[in-house]
Structures are given as C-alpha cells and as structure tokens.
Amino acid sequence: MIKFYNTLTKRKEEFSPIEEKIVKLYTCGPTVYDLAHIGNFRAYVFEDLLYRYLEFRGYKVIRVMNITDVDDKTINGAKSKGISLREYTDRYIKIFIEDMERLRLKKPDYMPRATEHINEMVEIIKKLLKKGYAYYKDGSIYFSISKFPSYGKLSGIDLSSIKVGARVDKDEYEKEDVKDFVLWKKVKEEEGVWWDTEIGRGRPGWHIECSAMSMKYLGESFDIHTGGVDNIFPHHENEIAQSEAATGKKFVNYWLHCAHLLVNGEKMSKSKGNFYTLRDLLNKGYNPIAIRYLLLSTHYRDPLNFTENSLKQAENTVKNYNEFYRGLNICGYEKYNPEIKKEIEKAKEGFIEYLDDDLNISPALSSIFSLIKKVNIFFSKGEFGRDNVKEVREFIEDIDKVLCIIEKKEESLSEDILNLIKEREKARKEKDYKKADEIRNVLKEKGIMLEDTPYGTRWKKN
RNA sequence: GGCCUGGUAGCCAAGCGGGAAGGCAGCGGUCUGCAAAACCGCUAUUCGCCGGUUCAAAUCCGGCCCAGGCCUCCA
C-alpha cells in the first residue's frame, strides 16, 4: 500500500488512483530560457523516482511534463539573441533533454509545449468568461479570485494577509483586485509574440498552460500533480482555481511537492547566482550518476544542502555499489546457498516497505546495503555459488529500474592483456612474485586493477 | 507581519513514545606472498537550548536560539 504526503490535505494518505492500476501524473517542467541548474533537477529527479517507482509497483503511468516556451524570459531571451522564440526555445529544449539523459531521467510520455496548445488554453478561458469567473480589463483577461470561494485551499494562504509585492507590472494595475491573476495577456507589439484568437490578440498567462495541457492529456480529473514547493503558491493554487472553475470537477487528487536544493544553506536560484548547472559539474569531472544518486538519496520533502563534498561522498557510494555489482561476475563454486535467496527477499521487502511510505528512500537504500554486506560475508567465506551470483545480480538489476545507478560498462580486454593476466597467474603459482608484481604494475598504469580472490584473479578498469 | 520546513557522530542521513538504521571519511585488526577487495572492531552515555508531561522522550507539550523557504517570476 503506497502512501503519499498530500499538500492538499497536509497528511500522508493511502494512494488510490482513479482508474485501477493506472496513474495519471503531471509534473511541472522547465521554462526553457536558459540551462536548468541542479536545483531544478532535484525536482525532476524526485519525479523520476516517483515515475519509476509507480511502474516498479505495477502501475501503468501516463506522465506529462510540460515545456514552458513562452513567457517574459523566453521572449526577452530570444529578442536579445535576435532569433525567433521558436529557435531560441528549441535550443534549450535540446539541452534540457540531453541533461535529462545524463541524469537517466526517464522520458515522460508527453512533453507538450505551451505554444502548441494555445487553442486548448483559449477554450478554457472562454469557459471561464462564460461562467463569469473571468473578466476583460483593457484587453487582458483575468481570473476573479473572489468568485472562487475555496481559493487558497492548497497553500493554506489567507487572502486577507497577502502582501502585495512592491513590483507591480503595469497591466496589473488594471485588475479589479490586485490578487486576481492573468489568464490572457493583451498583445504588446514590441514583444513580437502573439496569437490571434477568439478571445483577442495576445499571449497566455503562465498558469493556464498547465491546466490546458494536463487536462488535454490526462483528463479533467487526474491522480498526481507535482512540482517544487515554490510552485504551491501561486502557480498550483491558480491552476486549481481555473481548472475547477472551468470544469466543476476536482482537478487533482494528490499534490506532491519537493523541497528546495540549498547551496551554502540558501536556496539555489538563478536570481541569487548561486547555482551549478549540470554542465558545470560535469566539466569539473563529476560523475552524472553520482549527481543523480545525491539528488535521489535524500527524502524529497527535506531540504538538501548541496556541497561538492557531499557529491564526492555520493561518488564513492556509487563507485562501491558498482564494484560490488561488477564483482559478482566471478565465482567458481558450484553449490547453491539458499540463505542468499532469503536475504534478497528481506532486502526487497524493506525496499518496498519504505518506498511505499512516501518514497522514504534512505531506509530503503539501507536495506539494500545490508544485503550487500551479507552477500560479501558469504562471498568471502566461500559460501556463494554460481546461481547465487545470478539471483543477486537479477535483484540489483531489478531495483535499478528505480534507482538507475548501475553503470554497465562494455568491459572487455584485449588478447594481449588477457595473456598478461594469465602470465601473472602462472608466475604467482610459481611463486615468482617479482614478475607477478611487475605485470600488475604495468596493467595498473593502463588503468586495469587486479584483485586476487579465493575464486581467482579479477580485474576492473578505472 | 502571516504561513511553512529543518537543526541527530568529522560529513551526509534514517528513526518521531521503550534497543540511536544506513552511507561516506578515519583509525586499529583479520585475510593476502605483497596488494586490492571484503570482513571484524572502534568513532553520538546522546539527538540545537531550557523547562514540562510520562514508569519511560531524539520522538509529545510550552518557550527560546539558529538556519532556510513561501507570501513577487522561480523546481
């Protein structure tokens, strides 16, 4: 039984999808005006864990991740480069997808672009106008919060206490109520970006795209909607208002939000300039799998303070984990140890029990590390057979559908090197340790490490 | 000002009423021809501070301190 902490009810709740065994999942995606930083990727890694774990538990998951390719930042970015909005955002979408691949983020079933769903947005706005939830003011269209009594139910915000920001956009002065939000922005000729639609010439506000694209691909009511905590208000609050006002139905059952990535104790953000992009870290030589592991290994609702030191720790963990996995290759014993199967079952139960509990990853990983230790003990005692190798590998591969931290390398050695290894083994048997050590050193310089085990000599590439 | 989160060993991080998981790093040992890997042991009499409730609190309650977030675009 899976439980999730639902921001809407502020409680952990048993998860039960609308349609049995099918989960419809909407995850707020990037605004493609620049490189995403790893704070952004924390959210996407969390969503990846959610996506993969639901599949691991036997659900068919239909996942949408939107691409915001029209807003102030993308428009300004394209303008300053002197290229079209499309050309500009295409560039960053391509980079974003490459970054996702580096972090092994499973591609969502749909990655719709806002600019390709203007009609769907217009339809919702028309409904809202017709039902009296929206109004025109000076060519723009706003949502009237006062018409939607449950406004604030997600964020728990008290409308009367909202402090109106000092920076107020010019057309926001035109709203009936400062707290109302824009659905459709009247054209600004100088921006050079607009659509001619039934509701006028202009471009969409930010929030409406998520309502339009989620409902198009997932239906008017769906199971899970995720994002960073900074999206709770106003973005998700507004999505609920406009969607539920338009359809009269409950929009989303479970709202999951992940905490921020901090750097030196502060939120990592573009505006603070304290961010690392994935590329920054890769250029410094860090392993993307370790970055994935680091972002994955802290519970998603806890703030994660990012440091290069913790990334180095993560690298070691990933390295050890992979060496364990690869080291399973060699084992000469014929006998089968039934205890190992029991330990695998125990580890699997732990893994599922904890991840079922609101994706509580730390103890879930802990149960895997306990298994590794047990296996190592059996291994070094020589109580580990060939079929045990197979079952442990299969288990590690199975949970790797969720974790995705195994680095499968095409590992093969040239004839020459294999012969050298054989030669060294022969020398060792003949107690010619000088020669054996020489060969070991030669191979070490080529990045091939040798380890003598009770089962024979094994090698690994650095 | 309102709402919210976190403060557990050198670092990261579980536990949320009754034995302080796990990872990384370090030290000592076992194994090994030597290594490597692995294993064993050690590394928090104590969980930000002060009170309270309780037979019993890291866990509940009250107060305080520190750090951070949201209330404006933001994952």
- What confidence tens digit (pLDDT) does each residue in A417-436 have? 999 999 999 999 899 999 99
CA A382 to C1' B41 (Å) is: 22
Range from A106-110, A366-370, A455-459 carrying the lowest mean pLDDT: A455-459
* Distance CA A55 to C1' B32 in A: 45
From A18, A192, A47, A154, select the one nearest A105 (Cα to Cα).
A47
Q: Do A290 and A314 touch, CB atoms closer than 8 A? A: yes
Distance CA A255 to C1' B7 in A: 27
Nucleotide nearest to A327 (CA to C1'): B37
d(Cα A157, Cα A160) in Å, to the nearest integer? 9
pLDDT at A168 over 60: no
ipTM of the complex: 0.95
Residue with nearest Cα to nucleotide B74 C1': A230
Please check whether strand B approaches the CB of A259 to within 7 Å: yes
User: CA-to-C1' distance for A15 and B61, Å?
Assistant: 31
pLDDT tens-digit readout, A388-398: 989 999 999 99
CB of A247 nearer than 7 A to strand B: no
Decide: CB of A42 under 7 A of nucleic strand B: yes
Instruction: Quote the pLDDT of residue A410.
Output: 64
Indicate yes or no: strand B within 7 A of the C-beta of A317.
Answer: yes
Write down the pLDDT at residue A326: 87
* Beta strands at A222-228 and A252-258: parallel, antiparallel or unpaired: parallel
Does the C-beta of A204 come within 7 A of strand B?
no
Q: Is the CB of A21 under 7 A from strand B?
A: no
- What letter does residue A192 receive in the DSSP assignment? -
Which nucleotides on strand B sit less than 7 A from a protein beta carbon?
1-6, 11-15, 21-25, 32-40, 67-75
Minimum CA–C1' distance nucleotide for A167: B72
Nucleotide nearest to A263 (CA to C1'): B68
- Interval A89-101 mean pLDDT: 97
pLDDT by residue (tens digit) across A260-288? Answer: 999 878 889 888 888 999 999 999 999 99
Band of the pLDDT at A457, cuts 50, 70, 90? confident
Predicted confidence at residue A262, as pLDDT, reads 92
pLDDT at A384: 86
pLDDT at position A172: 46
Q: Does the CB of A274 sit below 7 A from strand B?
A: no
Check whether A209 has a pLDDT greater than 80.
yes
A174 pLDDT higher than 80: no
A304 touches strand B (CB under 7 A): yes
Residue A165 confidence (pLDDT):
42
The answer to whether A221 CB is within 7 Å of strand B is no
Q: Are strands A22-27 and A60-65 parallel, antiparallel or unpaired?
A: parallel
Using the CA of A449, give the nucleotide whose C1' is nearest. Answer: B36
Instruction: Give the Å distances, CA to CA, from A283 to A37, A279, A423.
Output: 14, 6, 39
pLDDT of residue A270: 85
DSSP code, position A48: H
Nearest residue (CA) to C1' of B33? A433
Tell me what the mean pLDDT of segment A359-385 comes to.
92
A27 in contact with nucleic chain B (CB within 7 A) = no
Q: Mean per-residue pLDDT for A29-47?
A: 95
DSSP readout, A261-323?
EEETTEE--TTTT---BHHHHHHTT--HHHHHHHHHSS-TTS-EEE-HHHHHHHHHHHHHHHH
Indicate whether A169 pLDDT > 50.
Answer: no
C1' of B20 to CA of A363 (Å): 14
Q: Has residue A167 got a pLDDT over 70? A: no
Summarised one tens digit per residue, pLDDT across range A309-318 is 999 999 999 9
pLDDT of A271: 81
Q: Say yes or no to pLDDT of A455 above 80.
A: no
The mean pLDDT of chain A is 91
> With bands split at pLDDT 50, 70 and 90, how would you rate the model's confidence at A290?
very high
DSSP state of A154: T
| pLDDT of A462 above 90 | no
Q: What is the pLDDT of residues A113-126, one digit of tens each?
A: 999 999 999 999 99
